[in-house]
Amino acid sequence: MRHRKLLLFIAGLLFACAACTHNAPSEIANTTTTATPNVKPTPAQIVRASADAVTIKAGGATDASVRLQIADGYHINANPASFSYLIATELQVAPAHGLNAGKPAYPASVSKKFQFAPQPLAVYEHEALIKLPLRAAADAPKGTANLPVQVRVQACDEEKCFPPTTVKTDIPVTIN
């Protein structure tokens, strides 16, 4: 009989908790989105990518820059990563008619010790600028186009790492 009363009591508590949280999503939706110290950003908010516009002559070459902005208190693994089991930051370029992308040049990393790793890791913090060599074919169509790029990253804080994610941006390219 005691176990039955205990089970009924627990079921009542669970029902009360469920009733209390039933309206929570609409209350949250009606609040403004201001950053608070207790709310952690999502992986998509931790790393953002952008690129400056470049101009290239048909048959010519130039370097584009892809800028990764990393939220304070977070880092991403460098390229190359410190260990084979870590996911390195990796820039990938979609094929584009008349443009060929070379091998990305990754920035120098910083070495930092974290609670979750026995040895210091090579990471990027705050900002990382990846250089991407571009070459336009001699017969490349003149005009402006966007060259889609994506960067695979794994963001971490001082204690843990998030699942890998891909951030995307376009490089505005003018061929003249």
Q: Is the pLDDT of residue 150 over 90?
A: yes
The model's confidence at residue 27, banded by pLDDT at 50, 70 and 90, is very low
Q: Is the pLDDT of residue 68 over 80?
A: yes
Residue 31 lies in a domain: no
Residue 150 lies in a domain: yes
Sheet of 90-93, strands arranged across: 54-56, 165-175, 143-153, 90-93
pTM, entire model? 0.75
Quick one: tokens of 115? 């609670």
Mean pLDDT in residue range 46-50: 96
Residue 77 lies in a domain: yes
Residue 33 lies in a domain: no
Q: Does 159 or 110 have the greater pLDDT score?
A: 110
Mean pLDDT in residue range 4-26: 38
How many structural domains are present in the chain? 1
Residue 116 lies in a domain: yes
Residue 144 pLDDT: 94
Sheet of 155-156, strands arranged across: 110-112, 121-124, 75-77, 155-156
Sheet of 47-51, strands arranged across: 47-51, 61-70, 127-136, 99-101
CA distance 7 to 17: 15
Residue 43 pLDDT: 66
For residue 102, the domain's CATH number is 2.60.40.1250
The model's confidence at residue 166, banded by pLDDT at 50, 70 and 90, is very high
Q: pLDDT tens digit string along 90-130?
A: 999 998 889 999 999 999 999 999 877 889 999 999 999 99
Q: Is the pLDDT of residue 58 over 90?
A: yes
The domain of 166 spans 43-175
